[in-house]
Structure 1
Amino acid sequence: MYESSTSASWRVALPHTTAAVPVARALVRTALAEREHAADRDTAELLTAELVANAVEHTSGGCPIELVVELLPTGCRVEVHDADPEPPGDLTLPHRDEPDPWQEHGRGLLLIRALSSSCGHRPTASGKAVWFRLPAVPRQRRPD
């Protein structure tokens, strides 16, 4: 279990293509595994993929996307930076309607809101950063 009082962070530029999604997933999973961090890896991977896919789909492709992963003793924070200053739809607002089960799109932000401990967006000098946090989850004690 990750019990260190130190923090670690990574900042990686990704191409503005769908190929960035599996790369981002792998980077988050590797960061959590290498540090033996107690945040849920599957959830971190899924939400990171949603953020990167949204950045690729909803912003222009002139600039790379940047992935920032921070591992803290209390959990992890993942940010995706893009060059578009527009906020990401209804990330922090409750969705009034249920997503259409027949649509391929429209569930990413819902997943991020539902599965993260907190999420949001903030302006940056070159566009915006969209982020989520996951708490560190204590592992169950195993009998010897």
Structure 2
Amino acid sequence: MKTITKLGSLITLFFAIFLLSSVESKAQDIEKRKQYLISKDWTITEVKREKLTKQEVYALDEGNTLHFSIDKKFGFKNNKNEYLAGKWVMAGKKSLLLTHGKGDGSSDTASSRFKIVKISETRIILKKLDKPKGKFVLQ
């Protein structure tokens, strides 16, 4: 009976250590992704518009520039030299939320949700989850 109890406590201990190590590695992975995001100014190089017919006031087009800062703010400059700023949140490994003004002069805010398909030092692929949907490649 004592050996079964000892075996059960050893299994519980190993399981707890495994859970702690996986949580720690996930946190490190999210921090690594954030470092990639803030490492440089990103230029949109490709836009896939299968379902994308009309975009918001600020259109994410090829040649536009996005900058993410360490204090969770982002800046966006499009080809018409219009500038938009807001806040970004990385909610998990695969989710990016951008909150910004609507761009029509009102004080209303809007948000855009993206799925991070791939992120590395040189390339980010984002899939827009809100309507209008689309896929964006940043380099």
TM-score (structure 2 length as normaliser): 0.28
Q: Which has the higher strand share?
A: 2
Larger Rg: 2
